Structure 1
């Protein structure tokens, strides 16, 4: 019985580099059954193709516009099972970051066929169960938040996020147009995006860029009528007001400076 071909997605911002990888893969197909299911010029394009192409492996460049290879690999970790990642790059100074996002291998250009085949054989041997066990948090701050949605990844630009609000086991990610549910810790999100968001309540992080101001209200929004005055945050482009807890009211002075 023949082996199922390894499905490969090539991701590189340079067309000649993609052609070179195709040629190497074509020459190597006798040693390992494989098929190239697509190409992309950056990480965002690659993620958009995942549902249709269903790759087992991404051959992923690192330095690319729009979304680089390291951030792309971080988003791939949200998939179940996550496709394997083999970095193919001209730079040798990203190796530590590459293995923090569980790359199978790190190949320097020009790619030698025997090294690529060895890396692809490792990828084939790595089962979906083992990939799941390898998942870990990556250290680099993201430019997008990835939302798992029925086997797909939705990418929400961080610059579009107005606030993050913890509700039960989920975090609501709110933009001006939509809201999404995210299974991440609000504390970890605060640590990762501390420059962009400020905590205004124990369950809410508000993007600094969307803070229009603060206003006093007749009653504390946390306690209800008759509990004394309180503060709410006004949001640029949104009628909704968010309560500022007493513990976090020191930020009001910060924004008045």
Structure 2
């Protein structure tokens, strides 16, 4: 917002027309801060098309929609070029009936997370939070450190990816291990692998390791193998001293990754 009196420019994204109508009414009836709905979209592709040429300060965004997840859209908004006349990407406030996605919302830097049905007072608190962040002095830009968000005894913690040693799928959960601690995640390992990118290496169908944490690729004699007996089992030795099995399928890729540094 260029002036303190300028209303918040809001884009409403929800696949339900009645939900969009209710949000529009609540936004434009909000006494402070003043806010104006500058567009509506029923799915992620429509929202991205609008954002390409419509300047806005805030996206009120549903999570579960046909044609694309609101979480993926929020991540794309954070990374995308801004519309003309807009100094920074719009902030995102999730408005959803799915409370179980709250931890992921922190990872895409959402300003707030509102569960349906939306109460007038709760929406006002979110709009105030956005207005305060927009009015805050712009600090020198620092590179964002990617994180995984975990729940720990009622607390929400941000774990920098630079501290992660490995992630291993066990039963219904994924164990996230750093040098100092471990936590359980309920997100599938396949989804985590897509989000973590090239900094992590799949060594087994149930394990991802941080490339920076790998210290060696070693043979692992099978139980009961005698002296001099051939064995083709391998493990990666990690920075925290642990060793994880490498599957035959992943062994060539692990060797290539280690050889390339």
TM (normalized to structure 2)? 0.51
| C-alpha distance in structure 2 between counterparts of 1:58 and 1:102, whole Å | 13
In structure 2, the partner of 1:88 is 95
In structure 1, the partner of 2:65 is 64
Q: How many residues are matched?
A: 153
Structure 1 residue 23, shift from structure 2 partner: 1.3
- RMSD of aligned C-alpha atoms? 3.4
Structure 1 residue 38, shift from structure 2 partner: 0.3
| C-alpha distance in structure 2 between counterparts of 1:192 and 1:55, whole Å | 38
Alignment of 1:177-196 (within 5 A): 188-189=197-198, 191=200
- Are 1:24 and 2:13 an aligned pair? no
Structure 1 residue 82, shift from structure 2 partner: 2.0
In structure 1, the partner of 2:38 is 37
Label 1:117 to 1:41 Cα distance change in 2 as closer, same or farther (>3 A). Answer: same
| C-alpha distance in structure 1 between counterparts of 2:119 and 2:27, whole Å | 11
Per-residue displacement from partner, 1:31-60 (whole Å, max 9, x unpaired)? 222110100111221111113211100000
| C-alpha distance in structure 1 between counterparts of 2:59 and 2:111, whole Å | 10
Partner of 1:3, secondary structure, is coil
| C-alpha distance in structure 2 between counterparts of 1:41 and 1:132, whole Å | 33
Partner of 1:52, secondary structure, is coil
Label 1:74 to 1:2 Cα distance change in 2 as closer, same or farther (>3 A). Answer: closer
In structure 2, the partner of 1:109 is 116
The answer on whether the counterparts of 2:28 and 2:34 sit within 8 Å (CA) in structure 1 is no
Label 1:47 to 1:5 Cα distance change in 2 as closer, same or farther (>3 A). Answer: same
| C-alpha distance in structure 2 between counterparts of 1:58 and 1:46, whole Å | 9
The answer on whether the counterparts of 1:101 and 1:136 sit within 8 Å (CA) in structure 2 is no
- Are 1:50 and 2:57 an aligned pair? no
Structure 1 residue 86, shift from structure 2 partner: 0.4
In structure 1, the partner of 2:244 is none
Per-residue displacement from partner, 1:87-146 (whole Å, max 9, x unpaired)? 000111000001111111110111011111111111111138469658454769xxxxxx
Point out where structure 1 has 5 or more consecutive residues left out of the alignment.
141-186, 195-246, 252-257
- Are 1:121 and 2:128 an aligned pair? yes
Structure 1 residue 26, shift from structure 2 partner: 2.5
Alignment of 1:211-222 (within 5 A): none
The answer on whether the counterparts of 1:74 and 1:138 sit within 8 Å (CA) in structure 2 is no
Partner of 2:53, secondary structure, is helix
Label 1:85 to 1:2 Cα distance change in 2 as closer, same or farther (>3 A). Answer: closer
Partner of 2:100, secondary structure, is coil
The answer on whether the counterparts of 2:28 and 2:37 sit within 8 Å (CA) in structure 1 is no
Structure 1 residue 190, shift from structure 2 partner: 7.1
